[in-house]
Amino acid sequence: LSMERPRNQDLGSVMQRLAEGDQTRLMVLALAAALALPIWLLGRKANGQCEPLILGAVVVWMLLVSPVAEDHYFSLYVLPAAYALAALMDADRSVRRWGYAALTAVGLLNAGAVLDIGRRFEIYGAVFWGGLLLLCLLLYLAHYESQQRRPDTRG
C-alpha cells in the first residue's frame, strides 16, 4: 500500500505522480474540499429523486479522496453508475446523449486500466479521472433532477 504504486488511483497518489513538490498535500486537501462543496450544496436541497444521485456522488468522492484506493477498489463505481443510468433514462434526449457518452468514457477509462493497455493508463490515473467524470455526471444529474421537479414559481 504505497502512494507511489501506479495502481493506487486516489486523488493524493495521482496528484503526487503528476505534480512534484511539497505543495501536493495542500493541493490535495484543497481539491478534496472543492469536490465536496457541490455535493454538500446540492445535497442540502435534494428531493427524493436526487437523493440516490447525491449518495452516488458521496461514494465516488470517498473513493477519490481516500488515502489509499487501489484500482480494484473502484469496482464500487457500479452502484453510482447505475444511479446515473437510471436517472438518464428519464432525462431529455440531449441530457441522455451527454450522460451516455460520459458513462461510456468512464467505462473505457476503467477498462483501459484493468486490461493494462499500457502502463500510462494507471500512471496518469485513468481510473481516478473516470471517477471524477462520474462525479461530475452525478452532480449534473442531481441538479438537472432538482430543476425538473421544481414547481413553476414564476407569476
Q: Is residue 83 part of a domain?
A: yes
Q: Is residue 127 part of a domain?
A: yes
Angstrom CA distances, 118 to 3, 54, 106, 112, 137, stand at 19, 33, 17, 8, 26
Q: What angle do CA 145, 149, 150 make, to 5 degrees?
A: 115
Which letter does DSSP use for residue 70 in this model?
B
Q: What's the number of domains the chain is made of?
A: 1
Q: What is the pLDDT of residues 6-51, one digit of tens each?
A: 677 888 888 888 877 666 778 888 999 999 999 999 999 888 888 9
Domain that holds residue 79: 11-148
Q: How long a stretch of residues is the chain?
A: 155
Confidence band, pLDDT 50/70/90 cuts, at residue 155: very low
Cell representation of residue 130:
473516470
pLDDT at 48: 82
Distance separating alpha carbons of residues 53 and 37, to the nearest angstrom: 15
Exposed, middle or buried, 100 (CB in 10 Å: 0-12/13-18/19+)? middle
Q: Is residue 123 part of a domain?
A: yes
More confident call, 150 vs 153: 150
Q: Is residue 1 part of a domain?
A: no
Q: What is the pLDDT of residues 55-101, one digit of tens each?
A: 999 999 998 898 877 767 778 889 999 999 999 998 999 999 999 99
Q: Is residue 6 part of a domain?
A: no
Q: Is residue 126 part of a domain?
A: yes
Q: Is residue 46 part of a domain?
A: yes
